[in-house]
Structure 1
Amino acid sequence: MNNKKYIFFIITALIVVTGGLFFYFKDTLFSIDSSKNTNIATENSNESIEVNTNQEVVFTGDQGYLLKGKLLKPAFEKEYKTLPDTLYNLEFNDRLFLVNNVDGAQKTYSLVAENTLDNLNSYQGTWEQKELITYLKLASQGAVEFPSYLGAMHIDYSLISTDEFNNKYQDYFIETVDNYGMSQLPYDVKNKIIDFYQSKEGASYRYKLKGKQTSADLIWRGALTGKDKEEVAILLNSTENSLDDKYILLVYACKSNPKDSYQEYYLVYNETFYNRVLLDRLKTTADGEEYIRDIYMNSNDLKRTEFDGVVIKQFNATDEVLVYSKDYDKLIKYHQTPLRKIEEEEEY
């Protein structure tokens, strides 16, 4: 009997010790250092807790805005009301820092990583960012919520990480002396050009200003296929031989309605040239007045196009004009010579 009591006592003691060790190691293995900036998963839940990261993001879209948040301290109501609801229209390559990145909450942003008055006072912003900086100073004092983002495109496409931006856009669209004008191209056109650069045909072409060329000579923007559309023609240089003037002209038409939030483009014309080329427009504006150049369209008389056209200029050559044809959904090239004269030249 005593042996049975002794065995029972030993078993009970082992259970108590084993249970204590289990809970000790359980607490040790699953303990959390709350000061670390990480996503934390608990043992019995799949939920993650995200903390502020001050992650830097870069704007790449066509339309993006930073908007006012709520007033948090009534003492700052006067300053708050003097600022517009839309604080800033974002531009390509604008850098922002995430302030609030908590899962499920609206994301907010700043121009600086550490939001102190000293940092904001020393921040060298543009004139267009003046109201945003004033608002951020209020936010840094806890007087208002930090600004939120509103854009025409999904945020995952228009605000991307710096690594993604550097890998995809940095080499092609950052403004430099030779690259001026490329940053202003529509989002979808930028991506179409990247696709072209990465193709077999486009691997040897890049955008580059030469000599006295300006971006207006190589990038054409206007309405080719419909009213208020923003369409693009661009001349790219061959990199095979720096001494040669070899270009390819790519023209992108917009298939979207001008009021659509996302503008989608498609290639409507391309041509290779073996001499220096300049681009011009049929429709120009000066002193608030619009001027339209009438052209020959396989005719003996000058005619007026419904929309704009791409004028192609080459040294010691007659101008040529690209005009959109609705019937064929393509651009038709017209030599700026009366039809009568063209026919006479063909006879000889």
Structure 2
Amino acid sequence: MSRFVHLVAGARPNFMKVAPLYHQLARADWCRPVLVHTGQHYSSEMSETFIRDLDLPTPDHQLSIGSGSHAEQTARCMIAYEKLCTLTAPDLVVVVGDVNSTMACALAAKKLGLDVAHLEAGLRSGDRSMPEEINRLVTDAIADLLWTPSPDADVNLRTEGVSENRIHRVGNIMIDAYELLRDRIEAAPGPSSLGLAGEDYAVVTLHRPSNVDTQTKLEELVSAVTQTAEQIRLVFPLHPRTSAALERFGMTAALKHPRIHLLSPLGYVDFMSLVRRARLVITDSGGLQEETTYLGVPCLTIRKNTERPITVTEGTNRLIDAADLPVAVAQCLADEAPAARRPELWDGHTAERVARSIREFFTARSA
């Protein structure tokens, strides 16, 4: 008998985590993966491009929750997902990452008595001012299966009193996404499409509310970025949140610099083709800290903390303040490649381990 497994994705990083598992489960004869797109990222730039890049089908269900405050988005998602589960209850709900859709669908499912699994569980920044930290804590507290990417995540869950039988370290699903599309990423033109073939450049991605939502912080960031452009060319795909903030505070023109290539959001293949060839990456993203560690690319993360500390202790990542960016970049350019190693189980086979965990879970439930 085939079991139905909902794979819930709300924002574009979710699709990168869902895709390898979708393809793994689609090859199985014991379950059927059902792709649920909540629509938290609702523009084609932020979702549909990634769906196409990752060879995913059109989602089976579109909840179309759209934007709004955290409470509005969470509430709409819970209502819409509860209706879907009431009509066609899945055998397992898989939520990924730490966006509002992750927590909302986990809550709605558990209140209906459904089994829930969290992929990328146990990550903690220790900063509860981050909405993502609240989403992680709540989701992990109620999920039946917690699939972790690294030992520190296991420790976090144990410290919070989670029983061992719920914790399963499976590795980093983001690496599976990269390996899934490695051939296409390596074949993509990358820097040559921007006239940067043979040149050193840095990739920049900045979108966290703590960095872009206030004028003072954004001014500091723009100043640091433009100073950095004097040292190395920058490729800067602008997140819609960052574009809107630049427009709102009248700072769009401040980034018009001959050595800054401002781009619209890119699909996964085009973006990673730039990252893999970059001299360094400047970001506030979570996923990029992991991908640069895997690829051995130096990463400067403009944040006070990270929920992925293994990228600092074992990988290529450094946490810095915006004001320190020009100096940190100069140090990166002067140094050899950082000594780093790929964390255990970051090997492109996480989806296989997750699928095996799901099958064992179903077997135990049937016993």
Query: Structure 1 length as normaliser, TM-score?
Result: 0.19
Give the helix-richer structure, 1 or 2.
2
Identify which of structures 1 and 2 has the higher relative contact order when contacts are C-alpha pairs closer than 8 Å and 6+ apart.
Answer: 2
Query: Which protein is bigger by CA-based radius of gyration?
Result: 1
Query: Structure 2 length as normaliser, TM-score?
Result: 0.19
